[in-house]
Amino acid sequence: MDPDVHSRKILVTGGAGFIGSHACVALIGAGYLPVVLDSLANGNIHALHRIADITGVAPDLVRCDIRDAAALAELFKAHRFGGVLHLAGLKAVGETVADPLSYYEVNMAGTLALVRAMGNAGVRALVFSSSATVYGANARSPIPEDAPYAAVNPYGRTKAMVETMLADLVQSDDRWHVACLRFFNPVGAHESGLIGEHPHGRPNNLMPYLSQVAIGSRSHLVVHGTDYATADGTGVRDYVHVMDVAEGHVAALRHVAREPGILMVNLGTGRGASVLEVISSFERASGRSIAVHVGPRRPGDAPAYWADASLAEARLGWRARRGLDEMCVDSWRWQMRNPWGFDGSAPTARNAEPSAH
């Protein structure tokens, strides 16, 4: 085998999930060979088939739990990886409060098992998918990377704890090359409409909820608060296209291939969009009117929240290229072509989705 194949072979944990599947497409487009590790508890094997349809390359799937140390050891014996993108974990905010121990076990213990297996195999280039939730709700926007940790739920705290663990690891062993990507609100879908986001049950985030209202599977959207100190009174967030996030992972992988140490970096557009702006853009994209009900503010919601994305451009050579209208067009194309997700089945009655990301 060409020795360069080993440096191009990348392990993608959670690669059958929303962000993971798009990351695989971006990796293949950049000349890498992704191998997906996913339990499929929340990922979808059909996403891997769609990746093959898009790219002409079918990623290998290793179906196992990220916490399974023996399976990880066998995986690293079977493959020589040039690096790892770690996206596997639980992420539903509602569930994280109800069942925090599962989040600590999967997100913390799973990462620990992975890093131990990597170290034992001599693979020390890691890109960790973190989250802007590490900043909490009170950070002033635009939020720089040196803003303090202030997560308000167990999910965000697990992300902050993993970052701290990785920083301690790098401090103790300078052979490690690590990047932690704090992405803001990933939305959209691949332009082909073949892969995208399909949460089980009631969506937790604005864009998939909008999509389901537009397609007719939900009657209306509730806007939580119209009296914030923003231009139109609704909350402002930094929405970033999922393919920009995926390409950010590729840029970070290139960074860790050449730079030792640890880098904490935001992935966002550096601009905020209000709820009403997103609704208006989605109505243009879909050609459909969105029924809106106004509800009260939700506890803990910040009025405005967006990234200082300058460090990503300076250190990774990355910047978000796709705007809000493109996010909405791509989301709608995915929703229209896949009204019930990958397998054609209707959404379940679950209230939240702990998904790979």
Q: In this predicted structure, what is the pLDDT of residue 301?
A: 83
| pLDDT tens figures, 333-351 | 999 999 988 876 444 332 2
Task: Kindly indicate the confidence band of residue 199, based on its pLDDT and cuts at 50, 70 and 90.
Answer: confident
Q: In this predicted structure, what is the pLDDT of residue 3?
A: 41
Q: In this predicted structure, what is the pLDDT of residue 188?
A: 98
Alpha carbon separation from 51 to 60, 136, 252, 304, 336 (Å, rounded)? 11, 34, 21, 35, 19
Q: In this predicted structure, what is the pLDDT of residue 347?
A: 40
Which residue has 């989301």 as its token pair? Answer: 331
For residue 356, pLDDT over 70 is answered with no
Apex CA 38: angle with CA 175 and CA 90, to 5°? 85
For the chain, what percent of residues have pLDDT higher than 70? 93
| pLDDT tens figures, 54-94 | 999 999 999 999 999 999 999 999 999 999 999 999 876 65
What's the average model confidence in pLDDT over 185-191?
Answer: 98
Q: How does the average pLDDT of the chain come out, rounded?
A: 92
Strand, helix or coil at 129? strand
For residue 203, pLDDT over 90 is answered with no
User: CA-to-CA distance for 171 and 165, rounded, in angstroms?
Assistant: 10
Q: In this predicted structure, what is the pLDDT of residue 343?
A: 73
The pTM for the full model equals: 0.93
Residues labelled catalytic:
155
For residue 280, pLDDT over 90 is answered with yes
What's the average model confidence in pLDDT over 162-183?
Answer: 98
